[in-house]
Amino acid sequence: MRLTLPPEAFAKQDPSDDALFYRPARMVTHVDAAALSALTACYQTRLWPGADVLDLMSSWVSHLPAGLVLGQVTGHGMNAAELAANPRLDAWFVQDLNLDPQLLQEDASQDAVLVCAGVQYLQRPVETFADVARALRRGCQVDSRREAMIIGPCPHRGEITFATM
Ligand SMILES: C[S@@+](CC[C@H](N)C(=O)[O-])C[C@H]1O[C@@H](n2cnc3c(N)ncnc32)[C@H](O)[C@@H]1O
C-alpha cells in the first residue's frame, strides 16, 4: 500500500524506546466512564458468543461486556503485569509493534481485533493493520470510533471495509 503521508508523520516527539515508558505497570483507566460504557455497549452489539478476539494494545482491562462469553480472548500490550492482571484474557503476549509490526497470530484465526486508545501510538500502522487483515477470518470491517476501533468480519463482503462512525 502506498502512503501519501511522509514517513516523519509517524515520528515520536520522544524518540526513546517505548519499552522504557511501559516498564512500570499502570493500573489506571485511560478513558472516561461514559466513553467506556459506550464502548462496552458497542462491543455487545458487534461481538457474539464464541468469537475469538484479539485485544490489541491492551492493559489490565478489556472493556468487554461481563455477560458475553467469547471464544479465545488474546491480549497484547507492552506490560506483562498489566496483561497478567486482565481477567478477560485467556492468553496474552508483549510485543512492541513499532519495532515488530507483525502479529504472532495464525492466518485467519481471529473473528475480531479490538484497539482501544492505542492506535495513535503506532508508527507503522499500515504494516500492523495489513497483518491484522491476515490474522482475521475472511471478510472484515473496521468500526472506528474516536478512541477505539473494532475490526471484525463483515459477512456480506469478501474485502476489508473501513466504516468510520
Ligand atoms: C492508553 S493505553 C490503552 C490501554 C487499553 N487498550 C485500555 O483501553 O485501557 C495505550 C496502550 O497502547 C499500547 N502500546 C503503546 N505503545 C505501543 C507499542 N509501541 N507497541 C505495542 N503496543 C503499544 C500499550 O499496550 C498501552 O497500554
Q: What is the pLDDT of residues 148-160, one digit of tens each?
A: 566 655 444 333 3
What mean pLDDT, rounded, does the chain reach?
Answer: 84
Ligand 1 binding pocket mutation candidate from 98, 116, 121 (most atoms within 8 A of CB):
121
If pLDDT is split at 50, 70 and 90, which confidence band does 95 have? very high
Q: Top-level CATH class of 17-135?
A: alpha beta
Regarding the beta carbon of 85 and ligand 1, being less than 6 Å apart is answered: no
Whether pLDDT at 8 is above 60 = yes
**CA geometry: angle 145, 131, 70, nearest 5 deg:** 60
Q: What is the mean pLDDT of residues 12-20?
A: 94
Q: How far apart are CA 18 and CA 41, in angstroms?
A: 31
Q: What is the pLDDT of residues 39-51, one digit of tens each?
A: 898 888 888 999 9
Q: What is the pLDDT of residues 18-39, one digit of tens each?
A: 999 999 999 999 888 888 888 8
What's the 113 CA to ligand 1 centre distance in angstroms?
A: 14
Measured from the Cβ of residue 99, the count of other Cβ atoms closer than 10 Å reads: 11
**pLDDT the model gives residue 2:** 62
Q: Is the dihedral of CA 22, 34, 129, 45 positive or negative?
A: positive
Q: How far apart are CA 67 and CA 97, in angstroms?
A: 31
Q: Which atom of ligand 1 is nearest to the CA of 114?
A: 6
Q: How far apart are CA 154 and CA 151, in angstroms?
A: 9
Select the more confidently predicted residue: 81 or 155. 81
Q: How far apart are CA 93 and CA 86, in angstroms?
A: 12
Contact 63, 116 (CB under 8 A): yes
Return the domain boundaries, the chain.
Answer: 17-135
**pLDDT the model gives residue 156:** 40
Regarding the beta carbon of 53 and ligand 1, being less than 6 Å apart is answered: no
Nearest to 162 by CA among 141, 134, 145: 141
Regarding the beta carbon of 100 and ligand 1, being less than 6 Å apart is answered: no
| CB-based burial label for 128 (10 Å; 0-12, 13-18, 19+) | buried
What's the 156 CA to ligand 1 centre distance in angstroms?
A: 31
Q: What is the pLDDT of residues 112-141, one digit of tens each?
A: 899 888 888 999 988 998 898 889 886 555
Contact 132, 122 (CB under 8 A): no
Regarding the beta carbon of 93 and ligand 1, being less than 6 Å apart is answered: no
